[in-house]
Amino acid sequence: MTDLPGRVNEAPRSDFRWLMMSNVCKHCTHAGCLDVCPTGALFRTEFGTVVVQDDICNGCGYCISGCPYGVIDRREDDGRAWKCTLCYDRIGDGLEPACAKACPTESIQFGELDELRERAARRLETLQSQGVAEARLYGNDPSDGVGGDGAFFLLLDEPEVYGLPPDPHVPTRDVVSMWKRAGLAALTMAATAVVAFAGRRK
């Protein structure tokens, strides 16, 4: 899925602009929420999307801190997680997600990622040729910190203007090195304690 903004106003740009984006789950290739869910409530579907099974969610909230985009929320009544599923039930029946179906300007588009990337690249080229130098594709790079997103965006300004992280990454990517450092620190403390204890006994 991708957001492709409509026609750019050819009038000179003022200081005030409307910049809109649907802040949905990005369905990351490397999804931090999946890494941290202790119950298996989050899973990757056969379509590559990430879905929460609310009947399995225990409301721990780990997935919220595991999401680099802040798109997972908790239900007020029981604290269970919820987010965009990219209409898993609809695409399972061969239908478009509701947002893409209902969007009157076709800014939200759904389809095969390769085809959407080609379409977005052409739109980006058009915008840049019209003088929108800040235009960029966001979430389209498989070498970024989340391995690219299943939902990417054509932005007309810096990601921060939209409230998006400029360099998204899976929060759990540093867990192994953190545990190694913690283990090394623990060993150092233990060795220091042993040396201190041995020195006392003398």
The reply to whether 91 and 177 lie within a common domain is no
Domain with 19 in it: what CATH number?
3.30.70.20
What's the pLDDT score for residue 23?
83
Give me 137's structure tokens: 């594709």
Q: Are both 6 and 27 inside the same structural domain? A: yes
- Give tens-digit pLDDT for 115-155: 999 999 999 999 999 999 999 999 998 888 899 999 999 99
Cβ-defined contacts of 10-19 (< 8 Å, 24+) = 10/130, 17/156, 19/155, 19/156, 19/157, 19/161, 19/162
Instruction: Output the six-digit token pair for 202.
Output: 């003398």
Q: CA–CA separation, 71 vs 87, rounded Å?
A: 15
Same domain, 49 and 142: yes
CA quadruple 116, 27, 43, 83: dihedral, nearest 10: -120
pLDDT per position as a tens digit, 161-195? 999 999 998 887 665 454 556 566 667 777 676 66
96 and 150 belong to one structural domain: yes
More confident residue, 28 or 197: 28
Where in the sequence is the domain holding 82, given as residue range(s)? Answer: 2-169
- CA 160 from chain centre, in angstroms, equals 14
Judgement on whether residues 62 and 150 belong to the same structural domain of the protein: yes
Q: Within this chain, do residues 24 and 9 fall inside the same structural domain, yes or no?
A: yes
Domain count, the chain: 2
Residues 135 and 179 in one domain: no
Q: Which residues pair with 169 in a beta bridge?
A: 145
State whether 156 and 182 are in the same domain: no
Helix (H, G, I), strand (E, B) or coil at 172: helix
Q: Where are the beta strands (DSSP E) in the chain?
A: 2-3, 42-44, 50-52, 73-74, 81-82, 108-109, 136-138, 152-155
Could you tell me the pTM of the whole model? 0.72
DSSP secondary structure string for all residues of 132-150: -TT-EEES--TTSBTS-BS
- 126 with 184, same domain? no
Same domain membership, residue 162 and residue 185: no
Q: Provide the 3-class DSSP secondary structure of residue 82.
A: strand
What would you measure as the largest C-alpha separation in the chain, in angstroms? 85
Number of CB atoms found within 10 A of residue 197's CB: 9
Claim to verify: residue 161 and residue 196 sit in the same structural domain:
no
Tokens representing residue 68 in the block:
């680099």
Verify that 92 and 188 share a domain, yes or no: no
List the helix and strand counts (H, then E) for the chain: 6, 8
Taking the C-alpha atoms of residue 84 and residue 67, their distance in angstroms, rounded to an integer, is: 13
Write out pLDDT tens, residues 71-107. Answer: 999 999 999 999 999 999 999 999 999 999 999 998 8
